[in-house]
Amino acid sequence: MQKYIALLAGAALMASCKSSLAPIKADAITPTVVTQPTPHDTDDPCIWINPADASKSLVIGTDKDTEGGLYVYDLAGKIVGKSETLKRPNNVDLAYGLTIGGKKYDVVITTERERNMIRIFSIPDMKPLDNGGIPVFEGEAEQGPMGVAIYTRPQDKAIFAVVGRKSGPTGSYLWQYKISDSGNGYAAATVVRKFGSFSGKKEIEAIAVDNELGFIYYCDETVGIKKYIADPDAKNDNELVLFGTQGFVSDHEGIAIYKSSPKTGYILVSNQQANTFMVFPREGANGNTNNHPLLAEIPTSTIECDGADATSINLGGNFRNGMLVAMSNGMTFHYYDWNIIQKLIDAGYGLKK
């Protein structure tokens, strides 16, 4: 087992881990790649799979600042592109095949928190497709969009953005928008659903959607992970389950879904103040799709990770079974070889025996 465990990522990471931040564990796995830093403050990534050549896939991450933006990285961690300047872009997710003006685009959607908008850009050229932005939470006293995740409905490829906010009511904390062609050459968004309970204890930021299984997951920070039906046409706004209520030091943060097959895999959630990822079965357990017991706790070299994404696609090179991408304090993102993570999951690493 020890050959799959690395010590700290080195003196640079140790220097960046200030005393006020959670310390990296001695058995933390090291990232295969650490990206070039952004100017301000990284927060959340997503992974775009290049349909022509997966080895040329990209990571898009937010630089969360008033003078921030979306940064584009290659698989070596080099910055290869950037959006226009955005006013505190918080979280980001993507979708494939949004039709506008008869043309299909792969797109990233991010929340622009200081303007109370979502923004939509084409991938990989990062051209805006939203006519300057689309307002969200209109008419609400509490706006400040933070989290966003995209649901692409399998049967008709309709695209929906699930948006959360910095603060909100105990119910209807999340709003779901259908993303479509406005008819004037830009994307439009229409509210189709308001749902999601909130404990009131801290906030809801991390959101993830499992397209194939049709579920939305979000973190009610310091409480647990909540699960809902993703399809707004199902007319089911009931919370299916609350899990991950034990073992977190404080905040439940970034959520990544690793898909081993169309219906199996893992849900990874950042245990922010422990610098670990808690791993749960995507498909459930013991014949119950809403039973998500803890499978492993993976110590990483990320410092207080906010956001994460994962893929099982063969990206070539060091990532033949995919990778986990995680934000780290220090204005970077870390790429982790999935093979290392899988071995730790198989061993039930971090669980009390």
Q: Which superfamily does CATH assign the domain made up of 2-346 to?
A: TolB, C-terminal domain (2.120.10.30)
Q: What is the largest CA-CA distance in the chain?
A: 60
Which pair of structure tokens corresponds to residue 166? 């910095």
- d(CA 19, CA 27) in angstroms, rounded, equals 19
pLDDT at 275: 98
The per-residue pLDDT of the chain, averaged, comes to 94
**How many other C-beta atoms are found inside a 10 Å radius of the C-beta of residue 133?**
16
Range with lowest mean pLDDT among 3-7, 21-25, 173-177, 255-259? 3-7
Indicate the helix (H) or strand (E) that contains 15.
helix 11-16
Under 8 Å between Cβ of 123 and 83: no
d(CA 204, CA 195): 13
CA–CA separation, 276 and 262 (whole Å): 26
State yes or no: pLDDT of 1 exceeds 60.
no
Position 19 scores a pLDDT of 55
pLDDT classification of 18: cutoffs 50, 70, 90? very low
**Main-chain dihedrals φ then ψ at residue 56, nearest 5 degrees:** -105, 20
> Does the pLDDT at position 58 exceed 50?
yes
- The total number of residues shown for the chain amounts to 353
Is residue 121 predicted with pLDDT exceeding 90? yes
Give residue 211's region: left, alpha or beta (phi > 0; psi -120 to 50).
alpha
Average pLDDT value for residue range 31-59: 98
Residue 17 confidence class, pLDDT cut points 50, 70, 90? very low
Which pLDDT band holds residue 10 (cuts at 50, 70, 90)? very low
- This prediction has a pTM of 0.94
Please, what sign has the CA dihedral across residues 313, 316, 318, 321?
positive
pLDDT in tens, 320-344: 999 999 999 999 999 999 999 999 9
Q: What is the DSSP letter of 120?
A: E
The pLDDT tens digits of the residues spanning 128-159 come to 999 999 999 999 999 999 999 999 999 999 99
Higher pLDDT, 202 or 15: 202
In the predicted model, what is the mean pLDDT of residues 288-315?
A: 98
- Averaged pLDDT for residues 254-282: 98
Hey, where are the domains in the chain? Answer: 2-346
Tens digits of residue pLDDT in 222-243: 999 999 999 999 999 999 999 9
Q: Which residue pairs from 224-227 have beta carbons closer than 8 angstroms and sit at least 24 positions apart in sequence?
A: 224/252, 225/252, 225/255, 225/267, 225/269, 225/280, 225/292, 226/196, 226/197, 227/290, 227/292
